[in-house]
Amino acid sequence: MSLFKAHYNLEKKSIWLVIGIIAAASVGGLVEIAPLFTIDQTVETTPDMRVYTPLELAGRNIYIREGCYACHSQMIRTLRDEVERYGPYSLAAESQYDHPMLWGSKRTGPDIARLGGKYSDEWHAAHLNNPRDVVPSSIMPAYSWLAETGLDVSDLGAHLAALRALGVPYTDAMIENASTDALAQATPDSDAASGVAERYGETTNMRRFSSRKTVTELDALISYLQILGQMTQTAYTAEPKEVE
């Protein structure tokens, strides 16, 4: 009762009320800001971290455009049941080149942070065309038009340049060849395919991601899904912390 009375009296004195609000906000701000001063010691180093290829980036844009993040999170927490179901828990460094972040909080569908390589390209193509064909209980909508829509690569160079301004280490050659590289990654028999491997590494997924003769939005989205959790191997090789 005395606490209630003290608060009531404080409300009647506007100056002290303002001071109290500022003090409370300052404490909250300090709690949020202080950890940033030790970020170099708290965020893992990932020497093998690579950037998204233009095709994977285009697929990520489609993923965002279609609202997939609303039902699928990309953040495995340090809980035993999550680690046993999805794989190693997510590390902050794995998202250092993500703009925007797609961690999410809602799981109408499963978390897909470690989806890369779990299923074949054919499985993904069938799943996106009609989810019930491979997961009978799925409530996910079908995205059949992706296979019929040619991929627009005209603005990928500008997109890479914008990301470089945000700190993603894209080179001039990557930006200049972005549109060509996007198409070449899904057409490994083309003359430009060697340039993709040269710029993004020999481990880049170089293949046709769907049965279509031309590169479609389906190819781009599958290429993105197949790299999730594979941008770096740090989470798989780092000494695991004890999970609850």
Rounded to 5°, the CA angle 232-169-60 comes to: 60
Q: Residues 6 or more apart from 129 whose CB is under 8 A from it? A: 142, 143, 144, 147
Tens of pLDDT, residues 187-205: 999 999 999 999 999 889 9
Q: Is residue 70 located within the same domain as residue 115?
A: yes
Q: What percent of the chain has pLDDT over 90?
A: 71
pLDDT value, residue 208: 94
Q: Mark whether 147 and 32 lie in a shared domain.
A: no
In the predicted model, what is the mean pLDDT of residues 16-20?
80
pLDDT in tens, 83-118: 999 999 999 889 999 999 999 988 999 999 999 999
Q: Which pLDDT belongs to residue 238?
A: 65
pLDDT band at 213 (very low <50, low <70, confident <90, very high): confident
Q: Does 32 share its domain with 110?
A: no
pLDDT at 18 over 80: yes
Within a domain: 47: no
- Do residue 135 and residue 194 come from a single domain? yes
Structural domain that includes position 20: 2-42
At 127-150, the pLDDT tens digits run: 999 999 999 999 999 999 999 999
156 pLDDT above the threshold of 90: yes
For residues 118 and 166, membership in a common domain is answered with yes
Number of structural domains found in the chain: 2
pLDDT of residue 169: 95
Together in a domain, 7 and 122:
no
pTM: 0.83
The answer on 8 and 107 residing in a single domain is: no
**Least confidently predicted of 28-32, 36-40, 219-223:** 36-40
In a domain, 243, yes or no: no
pLDDT for res 175: 98
Same domain, 25 and 58: no
> How much is the mean pLDDT over the chain?
90
**CATH code, 154:** 1.10.760.10
Same domain (yes/no): 64, 36: no
> Does residue 48 sit within a domain?
no
Tell me the per-residue pLDDT of 32-75, one tens digit each, with 9 for 90 and over.
Answer: 887 777 766 666 778 889 999 999 999 999 999 999 999 999 99
Query: In terms of domains, do 19 and 130 share one?
Result: no
CA 207 to chain centre: 21
Q: What is the mean pLDDT of residues 153-181?
A: 97
68 and 113 part of one domain: yes
Given a cut of 70, whether residue 241 has pLDDT beyond it is: no
63 in the same domain as 13 = no
